[in-house]
Structure 1
Amino acid sequence: MSPQDFERLIADVTTQIAGRPLDDALDTWLNATWPNGSSTFAALENACREGIAQGWMCQREAGGLRYGRVLKPLPATHGFSVDVVQMKDLAGPHHTHPHGEIDLIMPITPGATFDGRPAGWCVYGPGSAHRPTVAHGEALVLYLLPQGAIEFTPAPA
């Protein structure tokens, strides 16, 4: 798996979601179209694991997180950036999603969850915010961000 192969794989996904509202309907559609166990889910999960093993993905580490921006927003990815994070039983930094966020949750530990969700897709709408949390083990999370927009913010009191 090369970075170019990964970009093509992501472009196959973003072709299907470009221009759609980031909402509950998209969340439902993604989980019905490419659920855990589907060939697309498996291809994305394998690509992330290979990219990490090859050293070009999740190159940074801080506070127990391995992470990195894999792709900037590109025409080929329909303006979505791609970040991949590896977390184990912790909460990451609080942030907002000016244009929304689409997450692919890939547990490494069986039963691990991301923001309480099991393996699969999770969609946050524009203006949403959270402190991304992996519980019950370790997981990889792939983030698709429209226009690469993310704002790290202090957690609300």
Structure 2
Amino acid sequence: MSKESFHQIVADVTSQIAGRPLDGELDRWLNTVHGVGSESYERLKQACIDGVAEGWLCEREGGGIKYGRVFKAEDALHRFSVDVVDMKDIEGPHHTHPNGEVDLIMPLEGNATFDGRPAGWCVYPPGSAHHPTVAQGRALVLYLLPEGQIQFTKT
């Protein structure tokens, strides 16, 4: 899996969500159209697994979390940035999503959940905040951030 191929796989999804409100309706739509068992979910998950194995995804580590911004927000990705994290039974740093956040949860070990959600998509609306938490195992989580906006906070 090349970074260029991964870029195209992600762009296929961002083209379908560009301009849509980041809300519960988008969450339901993503899980229906691109959810667990769909070709697009499996393709994204395998691409992330391959990228980690090849060393160009999650190339940084801090506080027990492997992470990395793969692509900055750009027109080809419909103004979403792309980050991937590798987390196992850990709570990440608190942050807010000024423009919202779209997450793809991909369990790798156990029945891993992300913020209590199982495999699939999770959409956070603009202005939301959380401590991203993986429990019950290990998961990769792909983050799509409109305009790349994220603000880490002290809590």
Displacement after TM superposition at 1:27 (Å): 0.3
Cα distance in 1 between the residues matched to 2:144 and 2:110: 23
For 2:119, the aligned partner's letter is: A
SS at match of 2:19: coil
Question: Which residues of structure 2 form unaligned runs of 5+?
Answer: none
SS at match of 1:126: coil
Q: How does 1:2-151 map to 2 (within 5 A)?
A: 2-151=2-151
Q: TM-score, normalised by structure 2?
A: 0.99
Displacement after TM superposition at 1:110 (Å): 3.3
Displacement after TM superposition at 1:46 (Å): 0.4
How many residues align? The count is 155
Question: Which residues of structure 1 form unaligned runs of 5+?
Answer: none
SS at match of 1:106: strand
4+ aligned runs moved over 3 Å, structure 1: none
Cα distance in 2 between the residues matched to 1:140 and 1:53: 12
Cα distance in 2 between the residues matched to 1:98 and 1:88: 26
Indicate the percent of aligned positions where both proteins have the same amino acid: 64
Q: TM-score, normalised by structure 1?
A: 0.97
For 2:100, the aligned partner's letter is: G
Displacement after TM superposition at 1:137 (Å): 0.6
CA-to-partner distance for each residue in 1:22-65, whole Å, 9 max, x for gaps? 00000000001111111100000000000111111100001110
Cα distance in 2 between the residues matched to 1:110 and 1:134: 11
Cα distance in 2 between the residues matched to 1:37 and 1:58: 24
For 1:81, the aligned partner's letter is: S
For 1:8, the aligned partner's letter is: Q
SS at match of 1:111: strand
Cα distance in 1 between the residues matched to 2:44 and 2:65: 20
SS at match of 1:135: strand
Displacement after TM superposition at 1:111 (Å): 1.1
Displacement after TM superposition at 1:112 (Å): 0.6
Cα distance in 2 between the residues matched to 1:55 and 1:74: 23
